[in-house]
Amino acid sequence: MSSPPRWSSTSSASPRPSGSRAEVPGLDAVPVPAADPDRTAGLPAVATGQSVEVRVPATSANLGPGFDTLGLALSLYDTVRVRTVTAGTTLVRATGEGSAVLPTDGTHLVARSLLSTLERAGFAAPGLELDTTNVIPHGRGLGSSAAAIVAGVLAGNALLPADRRLDDAHLLQWAAQLEGHPDNVAPALMGSLAISWESGHAYHSTRVEVHPDIVPVVAVPGSVLSTESARALLPASVSHHTAAANAGRAALLVHALAEDPSLLFPATQDSLHQDYRAQAMLPSATLLRGLRAAGFASTISGAGPSIMTLAVGTDGAEAAEETLRALLPTLDTPEPWRVLRLTVERSGAKVGVHQG
């Protein structure tokens, strides 16, 4: 395996956010500051007449034992189109997932992330018009908040004068600071599998190419779960034996994802978080047990409640879907589940810029 690129920088890292359940799970709870006219008064505005389009993939963090460390980019995308206009207001028009309840002004997470990125570089916005097309489910453990933050950060960066734009390392650091952790924003930015960690006061991440035979199959429930609620169920500490066992599986998982998918089932065995979180998502926990009993490399996606199966090849994906069709009707859930056969997104977020 060739040496992968590594992203890092030296800005201050922030702890994961904590708090009560969000009004829009996965989005409103993220502590990105809203625009403050007092802070931006006197700052030069970026040029009007610019148009930027950003497409950001969904992500699945943890992947079983890779808690707070591993994240995988998936072929499910949110798209944001931004225009700078002369009026000094921010207008957001949303379609798709969550559009009925998301804010339509500068408090929208994409707008907050964009405006914070401009302010960080010493600039303000003139007027902004944002059109968002949301495909990533909210509050389901598929990185919707990370996608919104990455979209805002990349759009804001593209609107800056060329000599003031952040490089890739600082884009990762800034997006991770806004999100509070790197395990979703890193694969959203870089694509494929990202291994992320903190050192001193910085976030770092390295990209690993995923074996081409791996096919993610995701079961998405109708119910939602906030990351904060799921995290509150975790114990403050675990035994040395448990930590060592989980470290071994996480190391094996990287090898399985990159080189030997036949090892995915043992490699996705978790000891740190999934059992503790089960009480908050009983149907998902039941589904997970059923899939693993059938021999599938299935995990909770992120903080849940979606369940991801890492299938091998088309035959493996079809077998996983057949098992899901048998298991899902047995669950006690008022709302239907969706089953999505995806691919690994290998390039990460994409940005297009138009002047005038």
Residue 66 is labelled as binding a ligand = no
Question: What would the two tokens of residue 81 be?
Answer: 């189109």
Residue 139 is labelled as binding a ligand = yes
Nearest Cα to Cα of residue 274 among 30, 66, 9, 49: 66
Residue 146 is labelled as binding a ligand = yes
Residue 169 is labelled as binding a ligand = no
Nearest Cα to Cα of residue 31 among 41, 20, 39, 44: 20
Residue 255 is labelled as binding a ligand = no
Residue 143 is labelled as binding a ligand = yes
Asked whether 5 and 85 are in contact (CB, 8 A), the reply is: no
Residue 138 is labelled as binding a ligand = yes
Asked whether 182 and 189 are in contact (CB, 8 A), the reply is: no
The neighbouring-strand residues paired with 44 are: none
The neighbouring-strand residues paired with 240 are: none
Count CB-CB contacts under 10 A for residue 100: 6
Placement of tokens 């006197």 in the chain? 42
The tally of CA atoms less than 13 A away on the side-chain side of residue 130 is: 35
Signed CA dihedral, 42, 48, 50, 56: sign only: positive
SS3 183: coil
Residue 11 is labelled as binding a ligand = no
Residue 188 is labelled as binding a ligand = no
What span, in angstroms and rounded, lies between the C-alpha atoms of 109 and 236? 30
How large is the angle between the packed helices 168-179 and 109-120, nearest 10 degrees? 130
Nearest Cα to Cα of residue 29 among 202, 226, 219, 177: 226
How distant, in Å, are the alpha carbons of 21, 178, 230, 256, 315 from that of 139?
10, 18, 11, 28, 30
H/E element, 120: helix 109-120
Q: Which residues are annotated as a binding site?
A: 137-147
Residues forming the annotated binding site for ATP? 137-147
